[in-house]
């Protein structure tokens, strides 16, 4: 999975979890994602691909465990 393959809602789910559970660095990246234009969002997603994917996977695991 690549962050660029996730749709906008999926990326927002990842960013929200990054902000609430990810520590200060991940939180700052999430807040930058919220305010970035499309060009800068692409840069954030390519540079921090692993971070967005990690937190999206954690979000999905939580949803699965909660029974969606």
Q: Provide the pLDDT confidence category of residue 68 given band limits of 50, 70 and 90.
A: low
Mean pLDDT of 14-26: 96
| Structural domain total, the chain | 1
- CA 46/CA 53 separation, integer angstroms: 11
- The per-residue pLDDT for range 32-54, each reduced to its tens digit, is 999 999 999 999 999 999 999 99
Mean pLDDT of 13-29: 96
Give the domain range for residue 13. Answer: 3-65
Is pLDDT above 90 for 27?
Answer: yes
């Amino acid at each position: 999975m690549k962050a660029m393959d996730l749709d906008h809602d999926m990326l927002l789910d990842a960013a929200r979890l990054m902000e609430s559970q990810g520590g200060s660095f991940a939180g700052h990246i999430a807040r930058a994602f919220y305010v970035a234009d499309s060009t800068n969002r692409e840069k954030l997603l390519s540079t921090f691909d692993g971070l967005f994917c990690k937190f999206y996977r954690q979000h999905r695991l939580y949803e699965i465990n909660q029974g969606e």
